[in-house]
Amino acid sequence: MQPKSLELAQRLLGFDTINPPGNEADCMHYFANWLTEQGFTVTLTAFGEGRANLVAQLPGQHAGKPLAFTGHLDTVPLGNQPWRFDPFGGDIEGNRLYGRGASDMKAAVAAFALACVQQKAAIEAGRGVVLIITGGEETGCDGAKALIDAGSLPDIGALIVGEPTANYPVIGHKGALWLRCETRGKTAHGAMPELGINAIYLAADALGKIRHFSPGAPHPLMKHPTLNVGRIQGGLNINSVPDRTAFDVDIRSAPNLEHATIRQRLADLLGAEVTLTTLVDLPGVLSSEAHQWVQSVFQHCQALFDRPLEAKVVPYFTDASLLLPALGNPPCVILGPGEPAMAHQTDEYCLLSRLAEAEVLYAQLIEDWMR
């Protein structure tokens, strides 16, 4: 039996929302119309040319804060390897739904939207639900920033993030600090390098120092923070001394580490010859495993797994980095049907069996919240 949310998932996969540039607006408008037809009150907001977010609400009659779900509709580029399946076709082979964004994370958005529709009577009699659907997540939570800046977020009681976890409940994720490190030299003719200052050599010296830099102490659950130099650009032509080089550093942190402190320590290490610019600054997320609602989520998920569930975190960031502080830090669980290993992969897929499980799981969590 196919998941009830399959058709919606395939429709969402049919939109090219690769970021950059994003172009989520058409997909957002389609989804907004679908939600409106199901009885949601929907607010669409633009945050750039072809960019959009939406907030959808099903209010309840019972006193108390609503349950919120969040997901993003932008996806990463396809990569250089050829795809066996149409990345926008929503093709099915066996137990797999293929497409860019199948696991990360359009299938999850379809699943929790469908679960809300199925539980509409309980929601309206209960405390209501809110869907926070963003664009621009993949490049640093740009859509979430725009929603917060616009003051478009309603008050909520708990947040479920539908990122890919194979339906395993996750209580947190690492923070992300992306820095651009730039060296400036002096240009000269390549045949007379003694007249110039080579910015690439300055960058090489800095990279040698960075390679042995530790962002800080390990976290009990998130373990060691990590650092990776992911990109370097320097020089304009082979026969000139380069006067500028820039390289980008990706630091993944934990709640026990302050990003301002990490940045200052790195600046002190590299010295005045290297200028640092912050590109992305997203704090880590960690909910209390002992929270009553978090425990109830674990109890529902336990039926899907043979072994007792443990408190886990994921290394990737989510919109929760920005949404939770803006919402007053409600309890949060990351929970979605996507396969974590399939995110950003060629021939990305989501298992149909996981999608069906997520529909039931989300419906159970909604029903519990309304009671």
**Hey, which residues are catalytic here?**
74, 137
Decide: 16 and 73 in contact? Cβ < 8 Å. Answer: no
Distance separating alpha carbons of residues 125 and 128, to the nearest angstrom = 8
Beta bridge partners of 246: 182, 233
* Closest C-alpha to 276, from 184, 191, 211, 187: 184
Distance separating alpha carbons of residues 208 and 191, to the nearest angstrom = 27
Decide: 73 and 135 in contact? Cβ < 8 Å. Answer: yes
In this structure, what DSSP letter does residue 54 have? E
The one-letter code for the residue type at 332 is: C
In this structure, what DSSP letter does residue 81 have? S
- Compute the C-alpha angle 44/320/232, nearest 5°: 100
Distance separating alpha carbons of residues 26 and 119, to the nearest angstrom = 27
Written as six digits, the tokens of 60 are: 């309840």
Beta-carbon contacts of residue 250 (< 8 Å; ≥ 6 apart): 176, 178, 227, 228, 229, 230
Residue 239 CB neighbours (<10 A)? 8
What strands lie across the sheet with 274-282, from one edge to the other? 226-234, 244-253, 175-184, 274-282
Distance separating alpha carbons of residues 56 and 65, to the nearest angstrom = 15
